[in-house]
Structure 1
Amino acid sequence: MMNPAIPLPERIRPRQLSEVIGQQHLLSEQAPLRKMIDQGNLPSMIFWGPPGVGKTTLALLLAEAVDRPFISLSAISTGVKELRELIGQGGELSTPVVFIDEIHRFNKSQQDALLAAVEKGKITLIGATTENPSFEVNSALLSRCQVYVLKSLTVEEQLQVIQRALTQDVFLKEKIIELKQTDALLQLAAGDARKLLNLLELVISTQAVEPIIIDNDLVINSAQQNIARYDKSGEQHYDIVSAFIKSMRGSDPDAALYWMARMIKGGEDPVFIARRMLILASEDIGNANPNALLLAGECFGAVQAIGYPECRIILGQTAVYLATSAKSNSTYLAIDAALAAAEKTAHLPVPLHLRNAPTKMMKQQGYGAGYKYAHDFPNHFVPQTYLPPELQGKRFYSPAQNAREQETARLQDSRWQGGTGLKK
């Protein structure tokens, strides 16, 4: 009989690929990954996605599907020595599938040890990470792995997870449970199946009398009163990261320092904290204060160079600077608007006067004809069109209400609104 002390996510963990909920872009019959598995082929790969979407489960099921030994490691607790000992056994285990959770926490020496084993075919590597592998995995190892992006579960998929738990779990299916409302469950889980199941189990465990009627009030009260139990797998970590970012965005240096301290005390990688500040410096400050990006970049490099505990001072300095800086998300909005326009207008040709003309034939076809070299004109500016005719006058960048960007706005207005008619 199954032990009731085993958490619900483990009790109903899928036992075969057909039971996996979500990730159909990878697991449907026509998906590339599924086709490889059906052919008995399992390359080294990295799963990149948020927590609770099934990275560990999927790795285990893939290994079983191709009948390979499965070895699970955590990057937090595995050193180079243990890694090399394991790899040395590879030939005895018929090319095992080595799953490494949080592979982004491996240092260069550990990643180099993996690289040699992958190259020689001693292991098939499956790494899991919540961080962008382009930044966290060295290029040599990354080039030998397929990268698959796992997605947060949709509302419909989360509801399927709940129903599966209520109808298939050996303990829950014996209870009388009425699922009256699901909004709070779904909002708190935020696409994380493990978090969803932990919360569902917590809510049910607080009710001694059946029928158990689950509504939004019951879910919220249970989560607030039992946060330690609810956060069994450390998901609160992501809430603290969110609070840290929002405190800097909201210009509160004290709150930013507090949430940073919570992360540091919780064992968070200082590089992770520095990276989040580097992103915020561009996303939430941008051209309101370009020095913010420079300081955040220096912080990122310094944290990598000197490590903890000394780097705590640099982290704190940078967090205070970013929190107290002028704010703007104008360039963040601008690039997203430009990307959206580019996706819809990729068919538009480059205007002839903007095209390069390295050959005589291109010049004869009008490439570059009529282009005005800005440095030949007063103040290094001359009005001319740079967008395709169909997008003429389109604005992506709108300066925000801060001193630096308003100065930029006045300069741009003097250039483009002085009777040119090109930008309105």
Structure 2
Amino acid sequence: MPQQNLARRMRPRSIEEIIGQEHLVGKGKIIRRMVEAELLTSMILYGPPGIGKTSIASAIAGTMNAAFRTFNATTDSKKRLQEIAAEAEYSGKLVLLLDEIHRLDKPKQDFLLPLIENGQIILIGATTENPYFSVVPAIRSRVQIFELKPLEASDLEKAVSLALSDKERGFDFEVRLDDEAKNFLVHSTNGDLRSTFNALELAVLSSTDHQVTLEDMENSLQRKAATFDKDGDAHYDILSALQKSIRGSDVNASLHYAARLVEGGDLQSLTRRLMVMAYEDIGLANPDAALHTVSAIQAAERLGFPEARIPIANIVIDLALSPKSNAAYTAMDTAISDLGKYGNLPIPSHLQDGHYAGAKKLGRSEGYLYAHNYPNHWVDQQYLPDKIKQADYFQPDDTGKYEKALHARKVWIDEQKRKKK
């Protein structure tokens, strides 16, 4: 077997071999279109570790038959950058993967900028940081910026199957991977393909007769399969129990079920469900909870386990003990239900767009009253289509200060409408 590790051996050689990131490299998507048209521009790829930044860069170079070089902004010297630039001058087509681009110092920036400007080097910067905050404007203005997403379990399962079937780059011997072991592996690595390959390789090479059991995979990942079974039922049962415990304001049960997901290593499912709960179950009763949840999830994804459990603990407690309201999303569901009943009803003519030639002749926007010209920035006029003009979707729960304020505003508006009748 080749000496390189499995993750490196399985790195895609062309854009067709990339797993996941369909929003960028799928058929008809932006990076695929640039490569196929041979109109590639410099770019920055950002997202969590192990989800394909290096793979996309090498696959682009492979597809375009371009030289491919890597450079680390932290550890590599300006001299190496000069050597790469000299090579680019003679090769005519060179793709440079610049890892940790957010750490690039000013002398290297100054050297690199004209090379990007004149197209001598196609730069693909890689970073786990948000480049809109962490990368200097001089570079940002010269590149496209694309966000990569953590891979889905189905993507990881596809990658594992490829590694097991590819005798040239994967394993050159027969490997038997139990279904329970595979299911645990693809759900426990948080969309990180590199971690998935590393755990698989360790489990295979340390197993007996290359038969990988669930116990082998637990040892490889150093986690217990506490949240997964063969069919995934236990996994979803725990997610359900977590949401119902938070909805029911039982902080101890919430922490218990969150702990089981933490122990199972399933950061992706856990954070997604917490985000849903922040809006579905807490909602307008405490809008700050959604902001706290986003911040905690970003911190957890950046930290990874085991430290990710710390922001997770904070937000689980916050959500469990927060006041609750489902008024916003039930209002939306009721509005969607009416849409299903009545279809796309005619929009009142005074609300229609009046900014184009001929709109006035059609009566578009005529009679519209600009709310900011009236006391309290409100004026009585019809906004809903005629058939549902009496609909009243939002029914506040009054479980928090913010929602009470919204309710008070709604009551005031309703009273003004009644006075006009």
Q: Does residue 183 of structure 2 align to residue 189 of structure 1? A: no
With the length of structure 2 as denominator, give the TM-score of the two structures.
0.60
Tell me the CA shift for residue 72 of structure 1.
0.7
Q: Does residue 198 of structure 2 align to residue 198 of structure 1? A: yes
1:174 is paired with a residue whose SS is: coil
Deviations 1:386-414 (A, max 9, x none): 35557754747966721232233233233
Deviations 1:343-365 (A, max 9, x none): 99998876432457679975564
Q: Does residue 372 of structure 2 align to residue 383 of structure 1? A: no
Select which of 17, 20, 27 maps to 2:18: 20
Q: Does residue 179 of structure 2 align to residue 180 of structure 1? A: yes
2:66 is paired with a residue whose SS is: coil
1:99 is paired with a residue whose SS is: strand
Equivalent residues of 1:9, 1:198 under 8 A apart: yes
Between the aligned partners of 1:144 and 1:99, the Cα distance in structure 2 is 15
With the length of structure 1 as denominator, give the TM-score of the two structures.
0.59
Tell me the CA shift for residue 184 of structure 1.
1.4
Equivalent residues of 1:335, 1:396 under 8 A apart: yes
1:160-179 equivalences under 5 Å are: 160-168=158-166, 172-179=171-178
Equivalent residues of 2:396, 2:403 under 8 A apart: no
Unmatched runs of 5 consecutive residues or more in structure 1: 227-249, 256-278, 298-315
Q: CA RMSD of the aligned region, Å?
A: 5.4
Equivalent residues of 2:43, 2:145 under 8 A apart: yes
Partner of 2:209: 210
Equivalent residues of 1:69, 1:93 under 8 A apart: yes
Between the aligned partners of 1:153 and 1:14, the Cα distance in structure 2 is 15
Deviations 1:155-201 (A, max 9, x none): 44322211222233578442552423232112112332212112222
Partner of 1:275: none
1:230-249 equivalences under 5 Å are: none
Residue range with higher mean Cα deviation, 194-203 or 387-396 = 387-396
Equivalent residues of 1:53, 1:153 under 8 A apart: yes
Letter in 2 for 1:57: S
Q: 1:359 to 1:198 in 2, by over 3 A?
A: closer
Q: Does residue 118 of structure 2 align to residue 120 of structure 1? A: yes
Deviations 1:128-147 (A, max 9, x none): 23455445445664454344
Letter in 1 for 2:45: F
Select which of 342, 350, 353 maps to 1:353: 350
Letter in 2 for 1:167: S
Tell me the CA shift for residue 127 of structure 1.
1.8
Equivalent residues of 2:35, 2:60 under 8 A apart: yes
Between the aligned partners of 2:219 and 2:30, the Cα distance in structure 1 is 44
Equivalent residues of 1:14, 1:57 under 8 A apart: yes
1:394-405 equivalences under 5 Å are: 395=393, 401-405=399-403
1:404 is paired with a residue whose SS is: helix
Between the aligned partners of 1:177 and 1:26, the Cα distance in structure 2 is 33
1:164 is paired with a residue whose SS is: helix
Between the aligned partners of 1:211 and 1:26, the Cα distance in structure 2 is 36
1:136-151 equivalences under 5 Å are: 136-137=134-135, 141-151=139-149
Tell me the CA shift for residue 289 of structure 1.
7.1
Partner of 2:227: none
Residue range with higher mean Cα deviation, 37-46 or 58-67 = 37-46
Between the aligned partners of 1:390 and 1:136, the Cα distance in structure 2 is 51
Letter in 1 for 2:368: Y
Q: 1:291 to 1:203 in 2, by over 3 A?
A: closer
2:50 is paired with a residue whose SS is: coil
Tell me the CA shift for residue 149 of structure 1.
4.8
Unmatched runs of 5 consecutive residues or more in structure 2: 225-249, 256-274, 296-310
Between the aligned partners of 1:366 and 1:188, the Cα distance in structure 2 is 59
Q: 1:287 to 1:72 in 2, by over 3 A?
A: farther
Select which of 72, 75, 78 maps to 2:73: 75
Q: How many residues align?
A: 346
Residue range with higher mean Cα deviation, 344-353 or 192-201 = 344-353
Between the aligned partners of 2:155 and 2:193, the Cα distance in structure 1 is 9
Equivalent residues of 2:164, 2:175 under 8 A apart: no
Between the aligned partners of 2:325 and 2:133, the Cα distance in structure 1 is 23
Tell me the CA shift for residue 210 of structure 1.
2.9
Q: 1:221 to 1:65 in 2, by over 3 A?
A: closer
Letter in 2 for 1:97: V
Letter in 1 for 2:179: K
Equivalent residues of 1:189, 1:196 under 8 A apart: yes
Between the aligned partners of 2:9 and 2:26, the Cα distance in structure 1 is 24
Equivalent residues of 1:167, 1:173 under 8 A apart: no
Letter in 2 for 1:44: S
Q: 1:136 to 1:66 in 2, by over 3 A?
A: same
Equivalent residues of 1:186, 1:196 under 8 A apart: yes
Letter in 1 for 2:209: E
Q: 1:38 to 1:395 in 2, by over 3 A?
A: same
Tell me the CA shift for residue 125 of structure 1.
0.9
Partner of 1:158: 156
2:363 is paired with a residue whose SS is: coil
Deviations 1:255-304 (A, max 9, x none): 9xxxxxxxxxxxxxxxxxxxxxxx9xx988988477998xx99xxxxxxx
Between the aligned partners of 1:286 and 1:30, the Cα distance in structure 2 is 39
Equivalent residues of 2:331, 2:394 under 8 A apart: yes
Tell me the CA shift for residue 124 of structure 1.
1.0
Letter in 1 for 2:99: D
Partner of 2:35: 37
Between the aligned partners of 1:82 and 1:336, the Cα distance in structure 2 is 59
2:125 is paired with a residue whose SS is: strand
